[in-house]
Structure 1
Amino acid sequence: MPVNVNGVMQLLCRVSEMRGMKAAFKQSGKGALMAGTGAFLGGLLGGPFGIAIGGAAGGLVGGWMTSGQFKPIPQIILGLTPAQQQKLYNHTYAIIRDLDWTDMVQLSALVMGSVCIQDKMLAVIATYLTKEFGAQIQYEK
């Protein structure tokens, strides 16, 4: 029996929150901008040798600025566009369609009572965010 996308998104949020699942997105643009800025400034101040030093320093600063920016998965899921949520729903529905349930309450009870189903749902989330957005996934629990 099909269930609405919002119901499945809420269930995914609940499961991912229980496990403390977070994701960080690669922000290579910021790092590249810092490396380029460092190289430019280094070149102005120190010539060719300054470009190398400035680029290395800018790269280190850029890497430091973009690392460790993990967001809770529920926040990410709820921020997806309707089309992105539909795609995540389709992947998740492949797991829940063969379960014996009639409504969202019963589906929630089945999922929350089975670590195996939860693990499959978490794998769907991780795979989706990694493939679609290049996210790095972290679990706290």
Structure 2
Amino acid sequence: MPIDVNDVMHLLCHISEERKMKAAVKHSGQGALVVGATAFVGGLMGGPPGIAIGGAVGGLFGAWMTAGQFKPVPQIILELPPAEQQKLYDDAFAIIRNLDWTDVAQLTALVMGNAAIQEKLAAGLITYLSRELRAEIRYGE
């Protein structure tokens, strides 16, 4: 039975909520921008030694700025652009396509009642978050 992308996203949100999953998406672009800007300013103010000092200070600031920004995985899933949600849908649908269900509520009940399928979906979600978003995953709290 075909299922809507949003329904699969909500199923994945439910699984990640049950497991209290949080993820920190590393914003390497922001960090690199900070490093480049401080190195540039350091170079303007202090020449070649200023570039080195500015780069080092910018690197520390950039790392601090992007570290530890953990958000609940359901929030991250729902904020994904449609193309990324489609990728995640394709991965999840490959796992649930052989299940027999009539509506989304029944599908959710089937998945939540089957630890093996839950584990496969959670593993697929973790793989997606790690590979595509370069996220670090935590459980609890």
Per the shorter chain, which TM-score range?
0.7 to 0.9
Specify the SS of the correspondent of 1:138: strand
Q: Which residue of 2 aligns with 1:71?
A: 71
Q: Specify the code of the residue in structure 1 equivalent to 2:127.
A: T
Q: Specify the code of the residue in structure 1 equivalent to 2:117.
A: I
Task: Work out whether 1:53 is the aligned partner of 2:53.
Answer: yes
For residues 84 and 61 of structure 1, the distance between their equivalents in structure 2, rounded to whole angstroms, comes to: 30
Higher mean displacement: 56-65 or 44-53: 44-53
Q: Specify the code of the residue in structure 2 equivalent to 1:71.
A: K
Higher mean displacement: 91-100 or 59-68: 91-100
Q: Which residue of 1 aligns with 2:5?
A: 5
After superposing on structure 2, the runs of 4+ consecutive aligned residues of structure 1 that deviate more than 4 Å are: none
Q: Specify the code of the residue in structure 2 equivalent to 1:73.
A: V
Change (3 A) 1:116 1:32: same
Alpha-carbon RMSD: 2.0
Percent identity at matched positions? Answer: 64
Q: Which residue of 2 aligns with 1:140?
A: 140
The number of aligned residues is: 141
Specify the SS of the correspondent of 1:136: strand
Give matches, 1:10-89, under 5 Å. 10-89=10-89
Q: Specify the code of the residue in structure 1 equivalent to 2:93.
A: Y
Specify the SS of the correspondent of 1:98: coil
Q: Specify the code of the residue in structure 1 equivalent to 2:109.
A: A
For residues 89 and 29 of structure 1, the distance between their equivalents in structure 2, rounded to whole angstroms, comes to: 26
Q: Specify the code of the residue in structure 1 equivalent to 2:122.
A: L
Specify the SS of the correspondent of 2:102: coil
TM-score by length of 1: 0.85
Give matches, 1:124-139, under 5 Å. 124-139=124-139
Q: Which residue of 1 aligns with 2:96?
A: 96
Q: Which runs of 5+ in 2 are unaligned?
A: none
Specify the SS of the correspondent of 1:24: strand
For residues 30 and 84 of structure 2, the distance between their equivalents in structure 1, rounded to whole angstroms, comes to: 24
Q: Which runs of 5+ in 1 are unaligned?
A: none
TM-score by length of 2: 0.85
